[in-house]
Amino acid sequence: MTSKFLKGRRIDPPSITAGMTVADLMEQSFMAYNGGRLRQAAQLLTNKCLDDDVTVGMTLTGALTPAGLGMSSLIPLVEAGFVDWIISTGANLYHDTHFGIGLNLHEGSPSIDDRVLRDEGVVRIYDIFFDYSVLLETDLFFRQLFDAEEFQRSMSSAEFHYLCGKYIAAREEKLGAKRRSLLSVCYECGVPVYTSSPGDSSIGMNIAERQLCGSKLTIDPMLDVNETASIVLNAKRSGGKSAIVIFGGGSPKNFALQTEPQIQEVLGIDERGHDYFLQVTDARPDTGGLSGATPSEAVSWGKIDPDMLPDAVVCYCDTTIAMPLITAYALSRHAPRRPKRLYDQRDKMMAHLRSEYDAVRKAGKR
């Protein structure tokens, strides 16, 4: 009798040929180890997460946009309706803005003496080089935005990035260079973009500088905590599912996953956890850090629905390798989805969250 453990696909891949598509290559040749996990991640996204009733949240950690992944991968995913909401480090959104306002970054080398680069006025992100003036011009762009009347108040980071995206899109239009900034495309597609640590980037640093000059602009992270929880609750209560796609780890990963403990543990609302979990990371689980924490560990916190663990994939791989491949696979194997435009539904989703929380309190459970 054949063991049930021997029912997987036989390892007998065809030879790789010239002209093979990315999707065919992944399906036929990525059979084991992290190649196998990368294929499974791409198939989980494409075959389950992109169903019409699934709300897809994506988190971004690491210097992804300066490496060009905003333009090559993230913008096509957003435009195809494959990403419904985003949590990113502020650094990714700051460097994304360089491209939207017409500034240039270049391929470089990690082996150049940084003292020489400093003398030349060149800034290095590993093997990405750009002139120091890129930082100064981007800082100036943001400071001029922050002086506008519509920025003179407290707001969630989603509303803040929506406003920034509007002005970046206008600058792109003026430059005749569309589709270069992720923030501008998210603005146009109604995809809310959050950052879990607003002060931890050059954008936050420039907000702080403006406050010294009397600006009333403040990003309120507590608004983000409830808004993101309302997105997940809305996905479930509308009869659908919630998927979290994680590139990297860190604070954005936790901020996305804590939506379920916020709903269940803190607000006392009956819920089960995210349905689909897909992560690309280079972090190990055994050091105890959140970046490497597995989906099975997340079950113990209520972050992941335990019944959905088979629909959880972790690929240990550099995001700059995995993201373009996953993007190419998804775009070739799945038709575009109608955008959910969750940014436009923020008030309605928050009202729903409040109503369920009020019911919990009325029942004396809080």
- What would the DSSP string read from start to end of 214-234? T---EE-HHHHHHHHHHHHHH
Strand 85-88 relative to strand 193-194, pairing: parallel
Is 303 a known active-site residue? yes
Structure-block tokens of residue 2:
């054949």
C-alpha span between 352 and 167 (Å, rounded): 31
Strand 128-131 relative to strand 122-125, pairing: antiparallel
C-alpha span between 77 and 57 (Å, rounded): 12
* Residues 342 and 79 sit within 8 Å (Cβ to Cβ): no
- The H-assigned helical ranges of 128-283 are 132-146, 157-175, 182-189, 202-212, 221-237, 250-257, 259-261
Catalytic option among 236, 253, 303, 340: 303
Catalytic residue positions?
A: 303
